[in-house]
Amino acid sequence: MTNVRDFTHAIFAEATVRPQVVTANTTGLAVNIGAAGGNTLAVYLAVGAMAGTSPTLTVAVEAASSATATTWTLVDTLPIVTAGNQLITEFITMPPAPTISTEGYRFVRARLTVGGTSPSFAVCVLVVGMLKHPQPSLGALAGAPTIN
């Protein structure tokens, strides 16, 4: 990479839980990780303000071969949240396909479970990974600088 902007051509980032206030159990959107260049992903959980009596938030990362799958496999669970205004980063390794005859996991999502009395969390969950085939940036296409 020759420029910090080149970074955006080497990664993908998708929100499984878009910024919102969560007051009940929530299932995030399915994120297609088919473009990932490896089996390691970063999951970012941003927690803003929270309220309630003894509120807790548990975030499970699940995987499936289809966005509309009825069965999702637990991949990892992030640390339980009991305080607001923090960013939690978890690096996860995707498991191999369950059997040789089945497709690998192509989609991930977050499943949020809230606890406590009248809990409320401002949250966002982002999935980030390296691209299998990074896109060239304009700087890379321009070639090396010349000396006149």
Interval 44-103: pLDDT, tens: 999 999 999 999 999 999 999 899 999 999 999 999 999 999 999 999 998 887 766 567
Distance CA 93, CA 88 (A): 16
Angle formed at CA 47 by CA 43 and CA 51, multiple of 5 degrees:
145
What average pLDDT score do residues 27-31 get? 96
Token pair 């260049």 is found at 37
Domains defined for the chain, CATH in brackets:
4-134 (2.60.120.660)
Q: Is the pLDDT of residue 1 over 60?
A: no
Tell me how far CA of residue 60 lies from CA of 84, 87, 108, 142, in angstroms: 18, 16, 10, 43
Residue-wise pLDDT for 90-142, tens only, equals 999 988 877 665 677 889 999 999 999 999 999 999 999 888 765 655 544 44
